[in-house]
Amino acid sequence: MAKGHRSQIKRERNAVKDTRPSAKLSYARVSVQKACFVLDAIRGKDVQTAIAVLTYNPRYASSVIKKLLESAIANAENNNGCNPENLYVAECFANKGPTMKRVRPRAQGRAYRIEKKMSHITIILDEKK
């Protein structure tokens, strides 16, 4: 069990900031499972290789993730002063977002529910040592 009051523990945990360049896309209209197929292909690769993989990947999520990766690279250059040749994809993950519920009319007056899923995609870059 941790020592201290809950607010003190939270304050200490939030005091440590992650300074690695990153980019986050909220409410992407792609399911988490489909986004993770593409994210698994670029995890750990250097930035140039990751862009090449995303360019020729036929999945819809790859075009969304490519724009997000280019945004993370721009953040690294402008905010952290990093050299793009030294960057690699340290972490990338997709979290579940809200689900839009729609109704599809079916035979004999029935209605089936269609769930349009969303995800929050995050890419964190880091410099090679």
Which residue ranges form the domains of the chain, and what is each CATH number? 22-127 (3.90.470.10)
Q: How far is CA 81 from CA 50, 87, 115, in A?
A: 20, 11, 42
* pTM of the full structure: 0.84
Task: Per-residue pLDDT tens, the chain, 129 aa: give them.
Answer: 567 788 888 888 888 888 899 999 999 999 999 999 999 999 999 999 999 999 999 999 999 999 999 999 999 999 988 899 999 999 999 999 999 999 999 999 999 999 999 999 999 999 987
Structure tokens at 22: 């990153």
Q: Any idea what DSSP says for residue 20? A: S
Residue 107 parent element (H or E): none
